[in-house]
Chains A and B, each alone.
Chain A
Amino acid sequence: MERKIDVDGLRLEHEDGAYVLETPGDDPARLDEAALDDALEAAEPYVSNWYYWEATVGGEGTARRAFLRWCERAPIVDAQRAGRAADATRSVPDRYQRLRDGLERGWGQLVVTTRLVDDAPFDGERVYDLCHVDDVDADAAALERYTDPREARKIARADEDGRYRPLKTAPTLRPGWTFTGLSGEQLVETVDAFYPATIANWDRERRGELDVDHWLETATRQTGIYDVVDELPREAVDWMAESCCVDSQCLRRRAWQYADGDDLSTPSGDGQFPCREPCSLVIAAAREWTDLESDPERRYELELTERELAQLSALIDAVADDRLG
């Protein structure tokens, strides 16, 4: 044995010609090669659990691995979760118990179910199912069934009424489908297709390394037709965050503020995954707003989605009512 195993309570070391095996609740046992096999068998489910994370998932330090561990409430190495409550994690036997029935976790409007595979080539192999939160109790036969992660793009494209969804994290994902039997890698790919980069940003935040760009930084960086957005009055930025970024409009939790140390008054929301910078829709809306601010007499031809149009109309109403003070 060249290196030491230390995963989820299973410890195995080669020391002075003997193997030292330890599992939670049992004292370390010194074993020779002949005794090791039996001891490993007795150490289930720790061994199959180690094999799954080591051989199937791998990717130590990656967001993919952290997310898959989060999915089954396994402890995540170097979790910091700056400023947010630590996630309640579970021991291996407890997880196995729950994984037999399927352990569910929510991610925006998605629900991930992690299951142990009954007839897998090795014990401990997991697969993942994914469905819409509204379909958790639905009869599986009534749902469209997919196995290719790329199908998620098509589902995410339009809402239930067929309207285009340029903001992927808008809470308008249509129900009626399920992905079943995904591998961990496929699950991450599918979630990324529904909610791009949310896993990577969640992982960065968890490590305390989320690179947030606040409003002023992003606005100042713009060029071309968006050059003007940094002129937007501060109240209007607050208003935009309130109309575009709140949980009823977007499932990302807004981590950006007006500037570093200068928070907007609008609440950030409770989303599972953070928003690290004003998105292109907010920048586009800001541009329309800046134009309206600077020259209300001019005529504009706007190209807007229904949602943008609704937001802009509300914005105009607010100005008319002098609510922005």
Chain B
Amino acid sequence: MQALVVASHGSHLNPDASAPTYAHADAIRETGAFDEVQEAFWKEEPHFREAFRSLEAEEVYVVPLFISEGYFTERVIPRELRLEGWDPSLWDSEGTSAESATLEAGDVEKTVHYCGPVGTHDAMTDVIVRRAERVTGDPQVGPGVGLAVVGHGTDRNDNSAKAVEYHAERIRDRGRFEEVKALFMDESPEVDDVTAYFRSRDVVLVPLFIADGFHTQEDIPEDVGLTDDHRRGWSVPADVDGHRLWYAGAVGTEELLAGVVLERAAAAGADVGDALETVRGDVTGTGG
């Protein structure tokens, strides 16, 4: 038997923080690829601490639903899961190339495959593009359009900026969009000045965040000038300084992210059958 644990931050305050985690876990449940699928959280229940004990499977794949390789994925999660002998060097990563490490956990007799976060997997690039397709309603979006991948920025020495830049560069290399930039909330180049960084009239903004919350639903919309007051909402597209801004909301809410979770587990040795094809099913970029 094999089990999947989707590890996520969660929140004591915001009931929507865990919505993407449940949605992706459910999508994977429905494929039947794993005998058991379990959500686990830092700030909700079940806590990381108790992530394994309700599982009957002996083989467990843990995929962190986090953007970057850093404090949470390299320290907090392995410690709370009691992964014996864990060291970040086992991922052998420069900040965006983690794969997986196979370890044992201190409180259960199981083999645990601890995977890198979804945020730094190559397939995340496609999720960002899919997000742009969805928000514009155009499966071919790209020519003549600018794309801003928006990240938090320097945060507890995380590699969060690296992940944002990594995907921006990969999308740029594909030549599909007119211009591609990595922008940040807390460091330069700042998302506040988004219109100054683009020549294209239409610019899609995709925040590289797992869940919608204060950052994606309050800070960024106001900083960018989509609205003066987030409580009144904003239009998509919104006219700002002569540009049309298509603001996508957190990339983590995109259905295709379930595919990245599966890719992570499959790369670590999970048998996922044809589940990947199933979760990638909606290729229109607009469908529900």
Which residue numbers of A lie inside 8 Å of B, CB to CB?
59, 62-64, 150, 153, 157-158, 164, 166-169, 192, 196-197, 199-201, 204, 211, 221, 223-224, 276-277, 279-281, 284, 303-305, 308
Instruction: Specify which chain A residues have a CB less than 8 angstroms from the CB of B44 in the assembled complex.
Output: 166, 280
Residue pair B46, A196 in contact (C-beta under 8 Å): yes
Which residue numbers of B lie inside 8 Å of A, CB to CB?
11-15, 22, 26, 42-47, 49-50, 53-54, 56, 71, 75-76, 79, 107, 156
Instruction: Specify which chain A residues have a CB less than 8 angstroms from the CB of B12 in the assembled complex.
Output: 166, 280-281, 284, 303-305, 308
Write 18 A-B pairs (CB below 8 A) sorted by A numbering. Answer: A63-B54, A153-B22, A164-B13, A164-B14, A166-B12, A169-B45, A196-B45, A196-B54, A197-B45, A197-B47, A197-B53, A199-B54, A200-B50, A200-B54, A221-B79, A224-B71, A224-B156, A280-B42
Instruction: Specify which chain A residues have a CB less than 8 angstroms from the CB of B11 in the assembled complex.
Output: 166
Contacts A166-B44, A277-B49, A280-B12 given: A197-B71 contact, CB under 8 Å?
Answer: no
A39 to B46: give the CA distance in the assembly, Å: 48
Report which residue of B11, B54, B71 has the largest number of chain A beta carbons within 10 angstroms of its beta carbon: B54
Instruction: Specify which chain B residues have a CB less than 8 angstroms from the CB of A276 in the assembled complex.
Output: 50
Residue pair A223, B46 in contact (C-beta under 8 Å): no
A276 to B13: give the CA distance in the assembly, Å: 23
A281 to B47: give the CA distance in the assembly, Å: 11
Partner of B46, one of A164, A197, A211: A197
Partner of B43, one of A64, A150, A166, A277: A166
Residue pair A150, B54 in contact (C-beta under 8 Å): no
Residue pair A197, B54 in contact (C-beta under 8 Å): yes
Instruction: Specify which chain B residues have a CB less than 8 angstroms from the CB of A64 in the assembled complex.
Output: 56
10 A-B pairs with the lowest CB-CB distances in the bound complex, closest first: A196-B46, A197-B50, A200-B53, A196-B45, A166-B12, A164-B15, A200-B54, A168-B45, A197-B46, A280-B43
Report which residue of B49, B56, B107 has the largest number of chain A beta carbons within 10 angstroms of its beta carbon: B49
Residue pair B75, A223 in contact (C-beta under 8 Å): yes
Contacts A221-B79, A223-B76 given: A204-B26 contact, CB under 8 Å?
Answer: no
**Chain B proximity of A119: nearest CB distance (Å):** 28
Residue pair B53, A279 in contact (C-beta under 8 Å): no
Residue pair B47, A279 in contact (C-beta under 8 Å): yes
Instruction: Specify which chain B residues have a CB less than 8 angstroms from the CB of A150 in the assembled complex.
Output: 26
A64 to B56: give the CA distance in the assembly, Å: 9
A150 to B26: give the CA distance in the assembly, Å: 9
Q: Nearest B residue to A166 by beta-carbon distance? A: B12
A150 to B175: give the CA distance in the assembly, Å: 42
A59 to B45: give the CA distance in the assembly, Å: 25
Contacts A164-B13, A166-B12 given: A62-B56 contact, CB under 8 Å?
Answer: yes
Residue pair B71, A305 in contact (C-beta under 8 Å): no
Q: Taking A166-B11, A280-B42 as given, write out 19 further A-B residue pairs in contact, using a Cβ cutoff of 8 Å, ordered by the A residue number.
A: A63-B54, A158-B15, A164-B14, A166-B44, A192-B46, A196-B54, A197-B47, A197-B50, A200-B53, A201-B50, A204-B53, A211-B107, A280-B44, A281-B12, A284-B12, A284-B43, A303-B12, A304-B13, A308-B12
Instruction: Specify which chain B residues have a CB less than 8 angstroms from the CB of A153 in the assembled complex.
Output: 22
**Chain A proximity of B34: nearest CB distance (Å):** 14
**Chain A proximity of B86: nearest CB distance (Å):** 14
**Chain A proximity of B65: nearest CB distance (Å):** 16
Instruction: Specify which chain B residues have a CB less than 8 angstroms from the CB of A63 in the assembled complex.
Output: 53-54
Q: Nearest A residue to B22 by beta-carbon distance? A: A153
Q: Nearest A residue to B48 by beta-carbon distance? A: A280
